[in-house]
Amino acid sequence: MFAPLAWLVGENANVVIFARLALLPFGLGALAVVFLIAKRVADRETAWWTVAICLSLADWSLKSLEFRPDVIWALLWFAALWVIVRNIERLGARTAVALGLLLGFALLASIKTTLLLPSLALACLTGVFLSPVLKRQFSGYRWVWFGSIVFVSFLLPPALGIGALLMAGTTLEQIRFCLFEVNQAPLELWRSIGAGVVFLLVLVSAGWIFRRDDSRRAALGVLLLTAGTYLALLLGLAPELRKQTFLVVYPLVILLALHFSKTLGALLPAWRLVVSVVCVAAMGHLMVEAALWRDGMDNQRRLLSRTLALTDHGDMLLDGRGETVFADRPVYLAFVAVTTAAVEDGNLDSPDMAALTQHPTAVAIGELDGLPRAVRNYLKENFVLGEDGLLRVSGKLLEPSWEDGRWIERINVALPGSYVVVKNNEIVGHLDVKEPGLQIMDFGADRSRRFLIWRDAWSDGFRPRKQDG
């Protein structure tokens, strides 16, 4: 989706700014749909306050600019909820088709939709049995007819997506492993108990809301039970609890809190005062936490500048995260090539390091945090960290040993190519490695520490850091 804009911007470090701004319409669109939902189940004032508080949270006002599919996922999910609550008293075939397609595309945007789907299904089925508004529409087996249309429509986008992956060379085993095994979490007693308590509280509350013969109450019950069940499933089943995972429930929780606090008989001026204080406090916290006076994308732009300087078209980059290059340069992530085989074998934690030597990868990511131990060791043993700490290039720190009256260096070089020997930031020698393996260098009587560095990187301005942190 971003490729056309990247083509227009061209290869420069500022492309990351355009990449993030390109997601801004999706974030604003998601909040616009939240406003419509809030106005439908509550009132216009509550809807405005819901949006205002959302914009006071970093996850919606700043992190919504991150180059990731979560914001698009949120937009599709809220659009699906809007399709339901907009005309909840008249749910027909067109609504079912639209609902199924939106949910299908949401699944393509994020695997987290697999927890949203049973949450929404349970909420709707509970409403069918408890809400007079939904009972009248889905008498007999009409709810089966409606659900069947939703299900068939829902299958279309994933089928197209999986078909595209298979045509691109992805195997069914890779898809199965990534969808159903990587995202599994070990069952823990405290999480299971917490999930059960949350679900029971939400179920009782939704049942009380569903009892009244009112379309707004029916829509409110669906939202409450969907959000609560999703939170319970996250607590009990999610492999890790990150703030982005809760992105699709932040606005719903805020909406429900504002609506119920407003309808509990509190004085309207006092309610407005409390909400205003909450909004201002959240905005103040946002400004301090995010340090709005700083350039939050400076590191990303410097990383992109170094990547573009050290690589050419078609070059590979050993990147364990897959988030380094946003430009249209076809930099292939060599780490992905290694882990592809590991995915097929059902093992992501111990990728085959030998496979990395099959790719001419002279440039690697500098950051080591979060990478498997084998990858960290491989990077530290075969790459030299730059003085800015952003990238590594193929090379070695040379520390010769005393042998027969001379200082000799014996090293294993993983990547064939042309290298320079650097001492005190000056070239003092050259080494052409035709085959990976043991290389022997004789430094005579000089035991000074030197660096072996990929020649092209040195020519492009790469300078090593003295110590690899």
**Tens-digit pLDDT string for the chain (469 aa):** 666 777 777 777 777 777 777 778 888 899 999 999 999 998 999 999 999 988 887 665 555 445 567 888 889 999 999 999 998 988 889 999 999 999 999 998 888 888 899 999 999 999 988 999 998 888 777 888 999 999 999 999 999 988 887 887 777 776 666 666 655 666 677 778 888 898 899 999 988 899 888 899 999 999 999 999 999 988 887 766 777 778 888 899 999 989 888 877 666 778 888 888 888 888 887 777 766 666 667 777 787 788 888 887 777 777 755 544 444 444 556 665 556 555 555 555 555 556 665 666 788 878 777 666 777 888 888 899 988 888 889 998 888 888 888 888 888 888 888 999 998 888 988 889 888 888 888 888 888 888 999 999 999 889 998 765 4
CB atoms within 10 A of CB 104: 23
Contact 384, 393 (CB under 8 A): yes
Alpha-carbon span 452 to 398, nearest angstrom: 7
For the chain, domain boundaries: 3-290, 299-459
Tally of CA atoms within 13 A in the half-sphere of 390 that contains its CB: 18
The pLDDT assigned to 325 comes to 47
The predicted pLDDT at position 378 comes to 82
Contacts of 200 (CB under 8 A, 6+ apart): none
Residue 393: phi and psi, rounded to 5, are: -130, 160
pLDDT of 101 reads 96
Q: What contacts 368, CB < 8 A, 6 or more positions away?
A: 376, 379, 380
Q: Tell me what pLDDT residue 435 has.
A: 83
Q: If we measure between CA atoms, which residue out of 73, 90, 6 comes closest to residue 33?
A: 73
Q: Are 339 and 351 in contact (CB under 8 A)?
A: yes
CB 441 within 8 A of CB 399: no
> Exposure of 295 by Cβ count < 10 A (0-12 exposed, 13-18 middle, 19+ buried)?
exposed
In the prediction, which pLDDT does 104 show? 94
CB-CB neighbours of 339 under 10 Å: 20
Q: How far apart are CA 121 and CA 380, in angstroms?
A: 49
Would you mind telling me the total number of residues written for the chain in this entry? 469
Q: Which two tokens stand for residue 273?
A: 């005062």
- Cα angle at 136 between 135 and 138, to 5 degrees? 65
**What does the pLDDT read at residue 330?**
47
Can you tell me the distance from the alpha carbon of 40 to that of 133, in angstroms, rounded to the nearest whole number?
A: 15
**Bridge partners (DSSP) listed for residue 410:** 440
Q: Which residue has the tokens 């993030």?
A: 20
> Two tokens at 456?
């092209």
